Amino acid sequence: MESSKETGSAAAASASLGEAREQRRRIILAAARLFCRLGYNRTTVRALAAEVGMQSGNLFYHFKNKDDVLEAVMREGVLLATEAADRALAAAGSTQERLRGLFRAHIQTLLGPDHEALQVMLYEWRRLPQEQHQRLVALRDAYEERWQVVLDAAAKEGLCPPDTRLFRRYLLGALNWSSEWFRASGEIEPSDLADRFLRFALEGRTWTSP
Partner DNA sequence: GTCTATATCTGGATAGAC
Partner DNA sequence: GTCTATCCAGATATAGAC
Q: Is 87 in the site for a copy of itself (CB under 8 A)?
A: no
- Residue 138 Cβ, how far from DNA at the closest point, in Å? 24
CB atoms within 10 A of CB 78: 23
131 vs 203, beta carbon nearer a copy of itself:
203
* The one among 5, 42, 64, 135 contacting a copy of itself by CB under 8 A: 42
Question: CA-to-CA distance for 36 and 25, rounded, in angstroms?
Answer: 17
Q: Is 131 in the site for a copy of itself (CB under 8 A)?
A: no
Q: Return phi, psi of residue 4, to 5°.
A: 115, 20
Per partner kind, with CB cut-offs from 5 to 8 A, the member of a copy of itself, DNA, none near residue 180 is a copy of itself
Question: CA-to-CA distance for 85 and 131, rounded, in angstroms?
Answer: 27
Helix axes 66-90, 95-111, angle to 10 degrees: 150
CB atoms within 10 A of CB 184: 10
Question: CA-to-CA distance for 199 and 104, rounded, in angstroms?
Answer: 12
Q: Return phi, psi of residue 14, to 5°.
A: 60, 50
- Residue 94 Cβ, how far from a copy of itself at the closest point, in Å? 20
Question: CA-to-CA distance for 191 and 57, rounded, in angstroms?
Answer: 42
* The one among 44, 94, 138, 163 contacting DNA by CB under 7 A: 44
62 vs 102, beta carbon nearer a copy of itself:
102
Residues lying near a copy of itself in the complex (CB under 8 A) are found at: 39, 41-42, 123, 125-127, 161, 163, 166-167, 169-178, 180-181, 193, 196-197, 199-201, 203-208
Query: Interface with DNA by CB under 7 A: which residues?
Result: 1-7, 12-15, 19-20, 23, 42-46, 49, 53-58, 60-62, 65-67
